[in-house]
Structure 1
Amino acid sequence: MFKWLKPDPEKKLRKRYDAKLEQAMHAQRNGDMRLFADLTEESEALWQQLTELKAQANK
């Protein structure tokens, strides 16, 4: 009944993922390839967590 009051972990994780991708894009545009690689790696880890969360929700 009050599902809309509970925080959505998928939405929170997706927001963090999108922010990391945006930071990586800006790092790439500025020519900082090392930072770009680090941020891309972090975003891939967040994506993995997100897919695991979706898989658990579908069970």
Structure 2
Amino acid sequence: MLSWFKNNPAKKLKKRHSMLLEEAMHAQRNGDIRTYSRLTAEADELFQQIKHLNQSET
């Protein structure tokens, strides 16, 4: 009934994931490929965590 009050850990991870991808895009456009690679790797790890959380919820 009051499910909208429950914290959704995946929501916070999704927000961080999108921020990392945006930072990576800006790094790539500026020619900083090393930072781009690091940020996309972090974003990929977060995506795997999100995927795992979504699978455990169902």
Q: Scaled by the length of structure 2, what TM-score is found?
A: 0.94
Deviations 1:20-50 (A, max 9, x none): 0000000000100000000000000000000
Name the counterpart of 1:42.
42
Q: Which structure 1 residue ranges, 4+ long, deviate > 6 Å from structure 2? A: none
Q: How many residues align?
A: 58
Q: Scaled by the length of structure 1, what TM-score is found?
A: 0.92
Percent identity, aligned pairs only, is 48
Unaligned runs of 5+ in 2: none
Unaligned runs of 5+ in 1: none
